A = this chain, B = another copy of it.
């Protein structure tokens, strides 16, 4: 950390930083007034409802500066929020970003962070319309609010799963958790797994294809592990379900690393967080429609189980034996 970089942020000050960020923001016709007034003013599309979600990210709790390069940290900070809008079947539109900045953070870190944040925004047609900047006495703190919209009939909640529905998941599971485990163990780890951990892709196109087809009964994004997250669907829907471990979609990177283990580390695919895939349920009559959605968006979708009327979520090995959870999804305060 050079003293010149410290003095740079001090030299431009709070309003200088805001101007610096504002200068890079691209806007569109939905934004009546963006950054710079007491509140942003935006116009929803006619007939649409507002979708809102917020996430707070703290240094040394959610991320480490030594691991997360600022560009990918910026991308991920927004990606996890966009993922929440995708999980509701929504169209992401606007974001607010608050940053509490420690005195030792160089200005170039903020520049690279914003570059990443705005690249993720641009890829998803999200406009940064406001936020807050302040000094932090203890680590970088980020708070991202995302707003999206959707027609009432296309909003998908966690509560609609029906007994007999198929349980589906997009993409592959366990990559982020394996990337984290290998990094923590000091093992060599491929760029592909690290990218899943540090630069997850929100499944907006998959969600929109599914909701436009009207085939989804319930949906959630997989941030705490598929067992915990399908558990949320089950709880909100008053149902249960059984996940077939043999059906879990695993990437070739995951499988190649697995060869080094005594057996495939299914617990990473079942309980590892931060994959940001979508888990959804759909009537079995929609299997062909979902196959069409898959072709439309180019994201794999895999059937991994069946919703049951009896409460409780289980995972079953191909030989019929029951998986015993090694750990639950991550929770705070424990």
CB distance from A22 to the nearest CB of B (A): 13
| Residue of B with least CB distance to A83 | B38
Which of A137, A138, A236, A333 counts the most B-chain CB atoms under 10 A from its CB? Answer: A333
For this complex, into which size category does the number of interface residues on chain A fall?
35 or more
Query: 1/0 per position for A9-51, CB-CB distance to B under 8 A?
Result: 1101111010000000000000011001111111110000111
Contacts of A83 in B (CB 8 A): 38
Inter-chain contacts of A159 with B (CB < 8 A): 37
Instruction: Check: A220 CB closer than 8 A to any chain B CB.
Output: yes
Name the residue among A13, A51, A55 with the largest chain B CB count within 10 angstroms.
A51
A52 within 8 A of B: yes
Q: Which of B98, B134, B331 contacts A15, CB < 8 Å?
A: B331
Q: Find out whether the CB atom of B38 lies under 8 angstroms from the CB atom of A88.
A: yes
Is the Cβ of B32 less than 8 Å from the Cβ of A52?
Answer: no
Tell me the nearest residue of chain B to A53, going by C-beta: B39
Residue of B nearest to A12 (CB): B333
> Is A266 part of the binding interface, using a Cβ–Cβ cutoff of 8 Å?
no
Within 8 Å of chain B (Cβ to Cβ): is A100?
A: yes
Which one, A142-150, A289-297, A317-325, is touching chain B?
Answer: A142-150
Say yes or no: is A135 at the interface (Cβ < 8 Å to chain B): yes
> Of A65-73, A125-133, A190-198, which stretch is located at the interface?
A125-133
| B residues near A158, Cβ cutoff 8 Å | 36-38
Q: Among the listed B14, B132, B138, which residue makes an inter-chain contact with A54, where contact means beta carbons less than 8 Å apart?
A: B132
Distance A157 CA – B32 CA, assembled complex (angstroms): 10
Residues in B with CB closer than 8 Å to A331 are 13-15
The 8 Å CB contact of A32, one of B96, B101, B155, is B155
- Cβ-closest chain B residue relative to A107: B333
Q: Say whether, besides A41-B50, A88-B41, A58 and B14 are in contact (CB < 8 Å).
A: no
Q: Which of A12, A134, A159 has the most CB of B within 10 A?
A: A134
Does A90 sit within 8 A of B, measured CB to CB? yes
The yes or no answer to A120 lying at the interface (CB within 8 A) is: no
From B10, B15, B141, B334, contact of A13 by CB (8 A): B334
Cβ 8 A contact of A141, one of B51, B100, B133, B155: B100
A50 closest partner in B (C-beta): B42
Please name all residues of chain B whose beta carbon is closer than 8 Å to the beta carbon of A44 when the two chains form the complex.
Answer: 44, 50
Give chain B residues whose Cβ lies under 8 Å from the Cβ of A62. Answer: 134
User: In the complex, which of the residues A44, A132, A133, A146 has the most CB atoms of chain B within 10 Å of its own CB atom?
Assistant: A132
**Contact between chains at B88 and A134 (CB < 8 Å):** no
Q: Are B236 and A37 closer than 8 Å at their CB atoms? A: yes
7 tightest Cβ-Cβ pairs between the two chains A and B: A138-B138, A143-B143, A38-B87, A39-B53, A56-B98, A38-B84, A14-B331
Q: A37-B157, A41-B49, A96-B145 are in contact. List 9 more A-B contacts (CB 8 A).
A: A38-B83, A38-B87, A38-B158, A41-B155, A44-B44, A61-B137, A141-B141, A143-B143, A145-B145
